[in-house]
Structure 1
Amino acid sequence: MKIAIISPGPFSVPPVKGSSVEHDIDEVTKMIEPEHQVTIYTRTCATYPKSAVVDNREFIRFPYKGPTPYLRRIIKHIRKRKPDVIMVENRPTYVLALKRHFPKIPVFVNMHSHVYASNGMISKEKMKKVVRLASGFFTNSEFLRRHFMKACKIPAHKIHAVHLGVDVSPYQVAKIHFSMRKMRKQLGLQPEDRVLFYAGRLMRAKGVHVLLKAFREVSEKDPLARLVIVGGTGYGSNRLNPYVKELKKLAKPLGDKVKFVKFVPSAQMPLYYQLGDIVATPSVWQEAFCRVNLEAMASGKPVITTPRGGIGEVVTHHASGFLIPPKDWGKELPVIWEILWGIPEIRAEMGKNALMRAKQFSWYATAQGYLEVFEKVCKKQTSSSPADKPLRKTG
C-alpha cells in the first residue's frame, strides 16, 4: 500500500522544537511494515535535507508560507505518486482541496484535539462537507471520538479511536545516565529532596496555577518538597507572557523550592523526567490524551493528574496514579504526598504499575490500528470499482 501523510505544516517532521503532532507522525510511521511505502509531506527546515529516504519512509519537504501554497505544492507532488490512501494530520480543511483533485483516493483525517474542527478554525458548513467527503477519521482517545460524533455528527462507523504509543526504552535508559547528578546539581537539588515534576506548555488550560497553589500547601508540611516546572509558552518558545508572569508571582513566596526550566526538546525529555519522583499534570481543560502522563509512566513515575477528557483512558486511579478534580488539588495533593512519602512501598508499587501500564501503549499498536482501517476501506473501494464488477448481459 502506498500511504501519503500530510503534516500540518508549521513544524517539521521529525520535530526539532517539540510539536506533538509531528512527533506522533515520526514515531508511528517508523512502525509501519516495509511492505508499505510511506511518503511524509512536511515543511523545509535547516536541520533536514529537502527530501530523504529512511527505510520505507520518504520525506518530501516544501516551504511553509501558509497552508494554501504549502498544500498546493503537496497536491502537485501527489498527482505524480498516486497513493492508495492519504492521511491528513490535524487539518480537516485540507480535505476539501484534496478531494477536488483526487476524488477517488480515500482521504482520512487524524484529529489530535478538538481545536482545528472548532468554529474558530472551520465553519460548520465546511466541516459538514469534510465529514461527507472524508473516508474516515482517527482520534487518539475514545473521549475525543465521542466528542466529534456529537459535535460534528460524524457517524460511529466512520471515526476510530486509536491510542498513541510510547517507546519506554529511552526513559528506562535515562535512569542510569551519567549526567543525572550534574543536572540535579545545576538545578540546586539536593540528594534528599523530594521532587514533584511538571512538563508541558505554560498555559492556563494545563493548570500550572492549580499546581503551584496546591504545592504551597505541600511545602508548608514537607520542608524537603521541591517542584520542578519544565516548559515554555509554546513549542520552542520561552516568551514571558501574562500567564507566565502570574506563575512566577505565585512561585515567588516559595523561593528556591520551585525551579523553572525553560523549553526542552522532546529528544532530551527522557532525562528530565528522571529529575522527578512524582509527576503532576493538573489539566483543567478536556485533554484529548495528555502524552506527558504516558511519558511519565514510561519513566516508572506515579502520576497525579485530573479526570479531564481522555486522561482516564491512560492513567488508572489508585494503580498507576491518582485522578483528582482540579478544584480538589489544594486539599488532596498534601494528603497524597504524605501517603506516597510516608509509605515508600506504595510509591514504589505505583511506579511499577505505571511502567507496566505504559508498556500497553506501543507505537506498533497505533500503526496497526491505522493500517487496519486503511486496508478495510481500500478493499471495499476496490470491490465496488466498476472495473471489478461483472458485465451485465444484454440482448
Structure 2
Amino acid sequence: MKIAIISPGPFSVPPVKGSSVEHDIDEVSKMFGPGHEVTIYTRTCKSYPRSSTDEGRRMVRFDYKGPRPYLKKISAHLKKLHPDVILVENRPNFVPILRKGLPKVPIFVNMHSHVYADEWFISPENMRKIGRMADGFLTNSEYLRSHYIQKHKIAPDKVHAVHLGVDVSPYQMAKFNDSVTNVKKKLGLRSDDRVMLYAGRLIKAKGVHVLLKAFRKVSKQDAKARLVIVGGTGYGSNRMTPYIRHLKNLAKPLGKKVKFINFIPSKEMPLYYQIGDVVVTPSVWQEPFCRVNLEAMASSKPVITTPKGGIREVVKDGETGYIIPLIEWQKKLPVIWDQLWSVPHLRSQLGKQAFMRAKRFSWYATAQGYLQVFEKALEKRFKVPSVPLKAASF
C-alpha cells in the first residue's frame, strides 16, 4: 500500500522540540513495515535535509509559510505520487483542497484531540461537511471517538479509535543510567527524598495549580516529600506566562520542596521519569489520551491522575495507580501518598503492574490498527458491485 501522511506543518517530523502530533507520526510510520511505501510530508528544518529516506520512509519537506501555500505544494506532489491512501494529521480543514485535487483517493483524518475541530478553528457546518467528505477519522481513544460522533455528527462507522503506543525499552533502560543520580544531585534531591513528578506543559488545562495546592497538604504530613515539575509553556518554549507566575507564587511557601525544570526534549524524558517515585497528571481538561501516563507506566512508575477524557482507557484505578476526581485532590492525595510509603511493597507492585499494562500499548499495534482501517476503506471504495447472473437458456 502506498501511504501518504501529511503533518500539520508548524513542527518538523521527526520532531526536534517535542510536539506530540509529530512524535506520533514518526513512531507509527516506522511500524508500517516493508510491505508499504510511506511518504511523510512535513516542513523544512535546519536539522534535516529537504528530502530524505529514514527507516524505510520517504520524507518530503516544504517551507512552511502558512497552511495554504504548504498544502498547495503538497497537493501538487501528491498528484505525481499517486498514493493509495492519504492520512491528514490533526487538520480537518486540509480535506476539501485535497479532495478537489484527488477525488478518487481515500482520505482519512487523524484527530489527536478535539481542539482543531472546535469553532475557533473551523465552523460546525464545515466540520460536518468534512465529516461527510472524508473516508474516515482516526482517534486515539474511545472517548474521543464518541466526541466526534456526538458533537460533529460523523457517522459511527467512519470513526475508528486506535490507541497510541509506547516503546518501553528506553524507559526501562533509563533505570540503569548513572545520569539519574547526577540529575538528582543537580536538583538538590537526597537519596531518601520521596519524589512526586509532574511532566507536561505548564498550562491551566493540565491542572498544575490543583497539584500544588494538594501538595501543600502532602508536605505538611511528610517532611521528605518533594515535587519536581518538568515542562515549559509549550513544545521547546520556556516563556514566562501569567499562569507560570501563578504556579511559582503557589510554590513559594514550600521553598525547596518544589523544583521547577524547564522543557526537556522527549528523547531525554526516560531519564527524568526515573527521578520520580510517583508520576502525577492532575488534568483539568478532557484529555484525549494523556501520553505522560503511558510513558510513566513504561518507566514502572505508579500514576496518580484524574478521570478526565480517555485517561481511564490507560490507567486502572488501584491497579496501575490511582484516579482522583479533581474536587477530591486536596483531600485524597495526602491519604494516597501516605499509603504508598506506609504499605510494604505497594509502590513496587503498582509499578510492576503499570509496566505490564504499558507493554500492551505498542506502536506496532497502533500501526496495525491504522492499516486495518485503510484496507477496509480501499476494499469498500473500489469493490466491484456483483452483477446477478441470468439464467442460462437452452
**What range is the shorter-chain TM-score in?**
over 0.9
Task: Evaluate the alpha carbon distance shift between residue 109 and residue 211 of structure 1 in structure 2; reply closer, same or farther with a 3 A threshold.
Answer: same
The secondary structure found in structure 1 opposite 2:254 is: helix
User: Does 1:88 find its partner at 2:88?
Assistant: yes
Separation in 2 of the partners of 1:237 and 1:146? 32
Q: TM-score by structure 2 length? A: 0.97
User: Does 1:346 find its partner at 2:346?
Assistant: yes
Deviation of 1:56 (Å): 2.5
Task: Evaluate the alpha carbon distance shift between residue 391 and residue 369 of structure 1 in structure 2; reply closer, same or farther with a 3 A threshold.
Answer: same
Separation in 2 of the partners of 1:35 and 1:43? 26
Q: What does residue 229 of structure 1 align with?
A: 229
Task: Evaluate the alpha carbon distance shift between residue 121 and residue 136 of structure 1 in structure 2; reply closer, same or farther with a 3 A threshold.
Answer: same
The residue correspondences of 1:345-384 to structure 2 (distance < 5 A) are 345-384=345-384
Contact 1:34 1:55 (C-alpha < 8 Å) held by counterparts? no
Task: Evaluate the alpha carbon distance shift between residue 164 and residue 277 of structure 1 in structure 2; reply closer, same or farther with a 3 A threshold.
Answer: same
The secondary structure found in structure 2 opposite 1:344 is: coil
The secondary structure found in structure 2 opposite 1:97 is: helix
Q: What does residue 5 of structure 1 align with?
A: 5
Contact 1:9 1:67 (C-alpha < 8 Å) held by counterparts? yes
The secondary structure found in structure 2 opposite 1:318 is: coil
Q: TM-score by structure 1 length? A: 0.97
Show structure 2 runs of 5+ residues with no match.
Answer: none
Separation in 1 of the partners of 2:124 and 2:334? 45
Separation in 2 of the partners of 1:199 and 1:76? 40
Q: Which amino acid aligns with 1:97?
A: I
The secondary structure found in structure 2 opposite 1:234 is: coil
Separation in 2 of the partners of 1:299 and 1:117? 33
Separation in 2 of the partners of 1:368 and 1:238? 36
Q: Which amino acid aligns with 1:185?
A: K
The secondary structure found in structure 1 opposite 2:92 is: coil
User: Does 1:257 find its partner at 2:257?
Assistant: yes
Task: Evaluate the alpha carbon distance shift between residue 381 and residue 389 of structure 1 in structure 2; reply closer, same or farther with a 3 A threshold.
Answer: farther
The secondary structure found in structure 1 opposite 2:316 is: coil
Deviation of 1:128 (Å): 1.4
The secondary structure found in structure 2 opposite 1:191 is: coil
RMSD: 1.3
Separation in 1 of the partners of 2:59 and 2:387? 37
Q: What does residue 14 of structure 1 align with?
A: 14
1:290-346 deviations in Å (ceiling 9; x for gaps):
000000000000000000000000000000010101110000000000000011311
Q: What does residue 107 of structure 1 align with?
A: 107
The secondary structure found in structure 1 opposite 2:128 is: helix
Q: What does residue 190 of structure 2 align with?
A: 190
Q: What does residue 281 of structure 2 align with?
A: 281
Q: What does residue 120 of structure 2 align with?
A: 120
Separation in 1 of the partners of 2:55 and 2:191? 44
Deviation of 1:170 (Å): 0.1
Q: Which amino acid aligns with 1:121?
A: F
The residue correspondences of 1:297-376 to structure 2 (distance < 5 A) are 297-376=297-376
* Paired-residue identity, %: 65
The residue correspondences of 1:100-249 to structure 2 (distance < 5 A) are 100-249=100-249
Q: Which amino acid aligns with 2:45?
A: C
Separation in 2 of the partners of 1:156 and 1:31? 27
Q: Which amino acid aligns with 1:111?
A: M
Deviation of 1:390 (Å): 9.8
Deviation of 1:383 (Å): 1.5
Separation in 2 of the partners of 1:276 and 1:128? 44
Separation in 1 of the partners of 2:256 and 2:387? 74
The more displaced of 297-306 and 371-380 is 371-380
Q: What does residue 75 of structure 2 align with?
A: 75
Separation in 2 of the partners of 1:124 and 1:215? 41
The more displaced of 241-250 and 45-54 is 45-54
The secondary structure found in structure 2 opposite 1:196 is: strand
Separation in 2 of the partners of 1:112 and 1:173? 28
Q: Which amino acid aligns with 1:284?
A: V
The residue correspondences of 1:51-62 to structure 2 (distance < 5 A) are 51-62=51-62
1:326-376 deviations in Å (ceiling 9; x for gaps):
110000000000000011311110000100110010000000000001011
Show structure 1 runs of 5+ residues with no match.
Answer: none
Q: Which amino acid aligns with 1:2?
A: K
Separation in 1 of the partners of 2:307 and 2:128? 30
Q: Which amino acid aligns with 1:173?
A: M
The secondary structure found in structure 1 opposite 2:9 is: coil
Deviation of 1:7 (Å): 0.4
Q: Which amino acid aligns with 1:327?
A: I
Task: Evaluate the alpha carbon distance shift between residue 391 and residue 109 of structure 1 in structure 2; reply closer, same or farther with a 3 A threshold.
Answer: farther
Separation in 2 of the partners of 1:154 and 1:286? 20
1:21-66 deviations in Å (ceiling 9; x for gaps):
0000000111111110000000010001101112431000111111
The secondary structure found in structure 2 opposite 1:109 is: strand
Q: Which amino acid aligns with 2:99?
A: K
Separation in 2 of the partners of 1:145 and 1:309? 11
Contact 1:108 1:134 (C-alpha < 8 Å) held by counterparts? yes
Separation in 2 of the partners of 1:185 and 1:251? 21
Deviation of 1:389 (Å): 7.5
Contact 1:145 1:160 (C-alpha < 8 Å) held by counterparts? yes
1:99-146 deviations in Å (ceiling 9; x for gaps):
011110000000000000111110112111101110000000000000
Contact 1:36 1:56 (C-alpha < 8 Å) held by counterparts? no
Separation in 1 of the partners of 2:294 and 2:43? 28
The secondary structure found in structure 1 opposite 2:3 is: strand
Separation in 1 of the partners of 2:266 and 2:384? 44
The secondary structure found in structure 2 opposite 1:332 is: helix
